[in-house]
Structure 1
Amino acid sequence: MAVTLGLNGASAVGALAQLPVEPRAYDAPSTASPPGIDGSLGDAAWRAAPWTESFIDIRGEGWPAPTWETRAKIVWDEGHLYIAAELEEPHLWATLADRDAILYREHDFEVFIDPDGDALDYYELEINALGTEFDLFLPRPYNRKGKANVGWDMAGLRTAVLLDGTLNDPSDEDRGWTVEIAIPWSALRPPKGGAAADDPRETDRYATAEEDRHEPGAGPRAGDEWRINFSRVQWPVEVVPGGYRRAQEPGPGDRHPEHNWVWSPQGEINMHIPEMWGIVRFTEGAER
């Protein structure tokens, strides 16, 4: 059954969407003591924040449940958005070490952010178990002729990973890895001349009024809602001398041999449907 849902940003935007599944929601508490970005999730800020629901298949309920657990947390302050993730993983594998390498060709963790919830001008960050980062900006989704700007960078981004096991070593069984991310609000600004409003299209059906658009580089206030989602790309792997590789393709008819596990289901195998992303509500927090 479709769910009618308003697309909300810092203020409610007018358009409604008929969505195939209901996006998940998360209350992200503010923090007075930001976490240290070292991959360890023992900080007071993280103890005060709830976990998201366990990730599920990107298509939603009724599809095979993920083999291994994935969950995330969010906290925030005046300067940054902080994200933590915990990924259960018996085979820690990552070889892509160059910044802005196409990380989803191996296992990775991904973040998608649309500040004003209009399915335009959004940001993506990927990270692997080596700590390699891949960030990009899109003025609109690919299915509306959006073109990724891979040259755009999240200025001031800080990330860390912590491995519970040994990377690229099939001789033992690993337990998993954790991710910590600090994104400055000031980094969330489209490249000059590259925003959707600089090249408006008839397909921009959820576009907010100019006065309601996210102010580039500005963070939220308590009570605001943003559209955010998390994804984990997980490939079948096989052991080869010196490590792992992607398992051989199952056949030409299977175009999606990887697993896509997400926080808020998309309804199909496509992360670039921003109107399907989860709703993150920014709240006042109380640490313990």
Structure 2
Amino acid sequence: MENVRQWDWPSSPVGYLRDVVTAEAPRLETRFRACWTKEALHIRYECQDDHIVATMTSRDDSLYEEDVVEVFIDPFGGGTTYYEFEISPRGVLFDALIHNSLQGKIDVDRSWTANGFQAKVTPGTEEGWLIYEAEIPFADLEDVGVPEPGTVWHWNVFRIDDDREGVRHYSAWSPTGKVNFHISQQFKELVFVKE
């Protein structure tokens, strides 16, 4: 379970990504925090990065084929319908509505768009780090509405990183046991709290 506080980065809990298969520490560290306002969910990723692979420039390009951070958000529960958001190191965005049969059939609806979804990517204060800050408006999440304190959603946070040898490294907050981020049974709770 992760408590997400109203707009308050400094006191927001820090999560750490692990290797998606083994749950061991990944080659490079990825930390994240989340908080919320009445308008949006905000996610901040802090990524150690020694080699950036990011050539794509258009929204909804297949960013997951290069370096990317991702979050899957399921406000409905059950893991069969959820939203996917991705950000490349260049600040390029990908969003989609996912329908998951839980039996291996995944339907990715790229025509769905969160019009207010935005992000910025900046160098960290430490050399070799990138900071990604994402804003996901609740108004863009159809039939969901603004969460109240105590509301529980489900989610998972991911990263894909290519090293200098071209080896891809996959990490997750809640490891899935496979190189597959769409194992929604591994999503964890996201609890909206007011403090």
TM superposition score normalised by structure 2: 0.92
In the aligned structure 2, how far is the partner of 1:73 from the partner of 1:120? 25
The answer to whether structure 1 residue 231 and structure 2 residue 158 are counterparts is yes
> Which residue is 2:76 aligned to?
116
Match of 2:18 in 1: 56
Structure 2 distance, partners of 1:141, 1:132, is: 29
2:181 paired residue number: 271
Percent of pairs identical after alignment?
Answer: 30
Query: In 2, Cα distance between the equivalents of 1:270 and 1:93?
Result: 20
SS at match of 1:47: coil
- The one-letter amino acid of 2:129's match is G
Partner of 1:9 in structure 2?
A: none
Instruction: State the distance in 1 between where 2:72 and 2:94 align.
Output: 12
Counterpart selection for 1:80 from 11, 33, 40: 40
In structure 1, stretches of 5+ residues that fail to align are: 1-24, 32-44, 166-173, 190-215, 239-246, 248-256
Q: Distance in 2 between matches of 1:142 and 1:99?
A: 27
1:261 CA drift (Å)? 0.7
Aligned in 2, Cα 1:141/1:161: closer, same or farther, shift over 3 Å?
farther
1:96 to 56, 59, 76: 56
Q: CA offsets, 1:195-243, max 9 Å, x none?
A: xxxxxxxxxxxxxxxxxxxxx14122111211111110012334xxxxx
Quick one: structure 1 residues 217 and 155, their matched pair in 2 at CA, closer, same or farther if it must change by over 3 Å?
A: farther
Query: Counterpart of 1:156 in 2: which secondary structure?
Result: coil
Q: Could you tell me which residue of structure 2 aligns to residue 146 of structure 1?
A: 106
| Partner SS for 1:139 | strand
Counterpart amino acid of 2:185?
E
Structure 1 residues 101-154: Cα deviation after superposition (integer angstroms, max 9, x where no partner): 111111110010000221122000111110001111112257443311111111
In the alignment, residue 47 of structure 1 is paired with which amino acid? P
Partner of 1:71: 31
- Asked if the contact 1:265/1:277 (under 8 Å) is kept, the reply is no
Count of matched residue positions in the alignment of Structure 1 and Structure 2: 194
Which has the larger strand fraction? 2
| 1:186 correspondence with 2:146 | no
Alignment root-mean-square deviation, CA: 1.8
Q: CA deviation at 1:163?
A: 2.3
**Is the 1:108–1:128 Cα contact (8 Å) retained in structure 2?**
yes
Native 8 Å contact 2:75 2:144 kept in 1: no
Give the TM-score normalised by structure 1: 0.63
State the partner residue of 1:206: none
Distance 2:164 2:103 in 1: 30
Contact 1:138 1:146 in 2 (8 A): yes
Which of 21, 43, 47 is the equivalent residue of 2:10? 47
Q: Which residue is 2:130 aligned to?
A: 177
